[in-house]
Amino acid sequence: MPTPPDHRQHLASFLAALNARDQPPTWNEASTMGMQLVDLSREELAIRGSLADLEQADESFDAIVDPSLADDLAADIVDHRNRLALIEERPGAYFLSTGEVIQHGPVDADAYQSGWWHDDRTATIDTPNGQRRHRPGIHPDASIDPTARIDPTARIERGVTIGPAAQIGAHVHIGRDAIIGARSVIQDGAWIGSQTELWPDAWVSHGATIDPRSTIGHHATIGAGAHVPQGSQVEPYGRVGAGTTAPAAAKQGSQRSVQLANAVENIMRLDHD
């Protein structure tokens, strides 16, 4: 059955409003955008609560007393699990009263037509830290030095500051209010969390992930596929090896000899590049 023209117009307007945002709207915000939404939260939470009660009863139930009741209880548990599975299999975007968005379906199918963050520019990026969805764009509130080089597939969110001669590679994601220092290099597929600061001449290699509110010192190196946990500090000339996870909130390379050795290696690497 074809979609009525007025409905298509509302849908187009709704999707445009969603995709113009940097983050999902709350339930109240989304409900004012002109489209009827599906609230799964009450149904799902009710089923999950009942399932938890049933499973707890099942653990303490004495089947010897009444085997028929045990069979009924097992059937109820199966029914609740099946109902949850049906919710999880529904395609499209469902806005919850918690403000979250659930999006099902591959990005190269019709999922992008259903809601936030999925349009014809969206790509699925494979990194050593898992898959992520990526949509390019530079927020108008970002402050970018004219000498910085930014790949057109990168995403730069609101409040980001990028310093002189910085280099941002393909499919890089830089979260809100992050600061990228002068001459820093962020290679393809890296993810920089919100409120993270890279000091000048920092180097983030391919596919690395730096969680929010971290600090990367000047001339520090984050290896390919490495993971820097939230709130961590990597000191100047420090190094996080390829494919490794930095200790949470740890300081890397604190010994002077290590700093000097890493500085020499960085200089040699830049010469080769």
72: left (phi over 0), alpha (psi -120 to 50) or beta: alpha
What is d(CA 75, CA 270) in angstroms, rounded to the nearest whole number?
Answer: 65
Residue 89: the pLDDT is: 66
Measure the CA–CA gap between 137 and 12, rounded to whole angstroms. Answer: 20
User: How far is it, in rounded angstroms, from Cα 132 to Cα 114?
Assistant: 18
Low-confidence ranges of the chain (pLDDT < 50): 1-4, 104-117, 250-258, 261, 268-273
Q: What is the pTM of this model?
A: 0.57
**Domain residue limits, the chain:** 5-39+92-113, 41-89, 134-272
How wide is the angle at C-alpha 148 spanned by C-alphas 162 and 227, nearest 5°?
55
Check residue 29 and give its pLDDT.
72
- Which one, of 215, 160, 224, 158, lies nearest residue 186 by Cα? 224
User: Is residue 182 a contact partner of residue 166, using CB atoms and an 8 Å limit?
Assistant: yes
Q: How far apart are CA 215 and CA 199, in angstroms?
A: 8
Pick one of 3.40.50.740, 3.30.70.1140, 2.160.10.10, 3.90.1280.10 as the CATH number of 134-272.
2.160.10.10
β partners of residue 174: 156, 192
